[in-house]
Amino acid sequence: MRNSTQQRTYQKLDELADQLPWYVIEYIDKKKRKLSPASLLNYCHDFKIFFEWLVAEGFYAGNIQSIPLRILEKLTAQQVEDFLTYLKFQLQNKDITVNRKLSSLKSLFNYLQNIAETDELEPYLNRNVMAKIEFNDVYEDPETIANRMEGKILLGDEYEAFRMFVEKDYGELFKDNNRILNFYKLNRERDTAMVSLFLGSGLRLAELAGLSLEDIDFNKCSVRVVRKGNKEQYVYFSEQAVFDLNEYIKIRSDRYTISKQNRALFIAAPMGPKGTTRRLSARAIEKIIEKYAKAFGKPSLSVHKLRHSFATRYHAEINDVPKLRRQLGHSSIETTMIYTHLKSEDLKNAISKLNMPKE
C-alpha cells in the first residue's frame, strides 16, 4: 500500500519542494518523520503561494527559490495581513482556508526561529512576525452546520438507495446508451465495492485509494490503512462491504487482465493500445463518485460527504462518540487516552450493528 501511493505523493512533494527556498526544503525534510506526505504536499502548496506573492509584491527581485531569510525577518505584521487579505479577496479563499494557510506559515516560521540553528548555534530567524498574527474567528453553531449539510449527505433510506443505484439502477438509467452502459458494466462490481466500503467504514479518499489486496482481512471485517501522521490502523467495515468486496475481487483479475504483481485493490480500466492497467488514482475515484452522485440527483454528494454520511448514520445507530472518532481516525492529544481504552472487539461489534435491520 505504501510502496505505490505514498511513493507517488513523495515524488510530487519533492518536485514541489525543489521549487522553494533551501530552508523550506530543510523544514519539509525534518517534518517527514511526523507528518504524512499528503499533509506536507499541502504545506508546500501554501508556501509556494506565499513566496510567489512576496515576489509579485516586490519584496524580492528574483525567483522564489532564492528568497533569503532576511526578507522573512523584516516582514511587518501589516504586510502579512495584506497577504491574508490577498488570499481572501483575490484568491477567494474562505476564512477556514485562510486559517489553514496561516497555520502552515506559523509552523514554518516557528521552526526557523525556535528549532533550526546555524553552525554558530544561532536561530535562522531572530524575529517571527507570524507569532503576531491571529487566526480568523471561524464559528458555526451546530444548527447552521446541519442546515448546510442537509441535502449534501445520504440520510435514511438514501444510504442503501445510493449503493443500489451504483450496483444496478445506473445501468437501467443509461440502458439506451451503449457506450455508457458498456463502461458501466465493465466497472460495476468495482464501483459498487468502493461505494460500499466508503459507506461501511468512513475511510478517507487517500486511505481507500491506497489499499492493496493484503490490507483486507475478511475474517475480521477490517482493513489496514495508514492514517494522517503515518499512523497505521485497522478499521472495521460493514458486512455489506464484505459482500461487495468479495464480488469485486472474484472478477478483478480476469476483468482487468492484471498481473499477479499488481496488488492494488482498486484498478483502473485498461487504457492505451496495450491495455495498460494501474491503480485507480484518488482523483479518478472522486470523478467516479461525482458521476454517480449527479445521476442519482445529489450532485453535491462527494467522497467526503460519503464519509459524513457514514458518520451520521453511525452516530444515529451507535451513539458512541469515542468509538466514532477512532473509526474515522480523528486522533488528537485530547482524545489519545480515550483511544487507548477502546476495545477492538467493541468497535467491531459496533460496526456490525450497522447491518442489523430496524424493528
Residue 159 known to be catalytic: no
Residue 304 known to be catalytic: yes
Residue 308 known to be catalytic: no
Topology of the domain covering 146-355: hpI Integrase; Chain A (1.10.443)
**Tens digits of residue pLDDT in 303-359:** 988 987 887 777 667 766 677 777 777 754 233 233 223 344 545 565 565 655 544
Q: What is the pLDDT of residue 356?
A: 54
Question: Which residue among 2, 60, 339, 348 is the active-site one?
Answer: 339
Measure the CA–CA gap between 42 and 46, rounded to whole angstroms. 6
Q: What is the pLDDT of residue 319?
A: 62
> 234 near 217, Cβ under 8 Å?
yes
Measure the CA–CA gap between 322 and 216, rounded to whole angstroms. 24
> 153 near 305, Cβ under 8 Å?
yes
Mean pLDDT by 10 residues, the chain (359 residues): 67 93 96 85 95 96 96 96 94 90 95 95 95 79 52 79 95 94 96 96 92 94 86 91 96 89 90 75 93 91 86 72 74 34 48 54
Residue 283 known to be catalytic: no
Q: What is the pLDDT of residue 228?
A: 75
Question: Which residue among 48, 152, 224, 304 is the active-site one?
Answer: 304
Question: Which residue among 228, 278, 291, 308 is the active-site one?
Answer: 228
Question: Which residue among 252, 307, 313, 326 is the active-site one?
Answer: 307
Measure the CA–CA gap between 311 and 289, rounded to whole angstroms. 18
Residue 48 known to be catalytic: no
Question: Which residue among 188, 204, 255, 305 is the active-site one?
Answer: 204
Question: Is domain 2-139 classified as CATH 1.10.150?
Answer: yes
Question: Which residue among 8, 224, 263, 330 is the active-site one?
Answer: 330
Residue 224 known to be catalytic: no
CA–CA distance from 127 to each of 27, 70, 82, 112 (Å)?
17, 10, 19, 9
> 48 near 16, Cβ under 8 Å?
yes
Q: What is the pLDDT of residue 359?
A: 43
Measure the CA–CA gap between 200 and 190, rounded to whole angstroms. 15
Q: What is the pLDDT of residue 171?
A: 94
Bridge partners of 117? Answer: 123
- Domain borders along the chain are 2-139, 146-355
